[in-house]
Structure 1
Amino acid sequence: MSLIDRITAEPGKMGGRPCIRGLRIRVTDVLEMLAAGATQQEILSDHPDLEAEDISAALAYAAERVDHPVIMIPAAE
């Protein structure tokens, strides 16, 4: 299973938002905990259903989602 395969989205679960392995833990929840300064070990302790690879998957998913091309359109003269 690749890291990205750990991310699921189901229309009837958590509003269709990306979650970790079908759990009711959203990718954004993991990212917000990391941004707030939680360590990987703290997150895993607080959420025993999570695995270390799930945190890596959330980061990989976020990196993939923000990597988009920038299209420069010339200003009208």
Structure 2
Amino acid sequence: MKRFERITLDPKVMGGKPCIRGTRVTVGNIVSLLAAGHSEAEILKAYPYLEKEDIREALAYAAWRAEEMDVELEEAS
């Protein structure tokens, strides 16, 4: 597994979902906010205990996980 310093996985926190530095803020939450059009500045304002690097690493982790998953696609008819 690629090493991510700011992403933690703990079964006792958010059901084991990947979180930012042991907080209850999940990688999925950060990626969803960005996908919805929220800026990095808005996210940092909403979560003042996060840092810019946390957001970057959340994106890197999500991209890594997306590349690691095998998904079967239906053949085009």
Residue matched to 1:52: 52
Q: TM-score, normalised by structure 2?
A: 0.83
> What is the aligned residue count?
70
Q: Which has the higher contact order (CA 8 A, sep 6+)?
A: 1
TM-score computed with the length of structure 1 as normaliser: 0.83
Partner residue, 2:61: 61
- Detail structure 1 runs of 4+ shifted over 4 Å in the superposition: none
Gap regions ≥5 residues in structure 2: 71-77
Unaligned runs of 5+ in 1: 71-77
Find the structure with the greater CA-based Rg: 1
| % identical aligned pairs | 50
For the aligned residues, what is the CA RMSD? 2.0
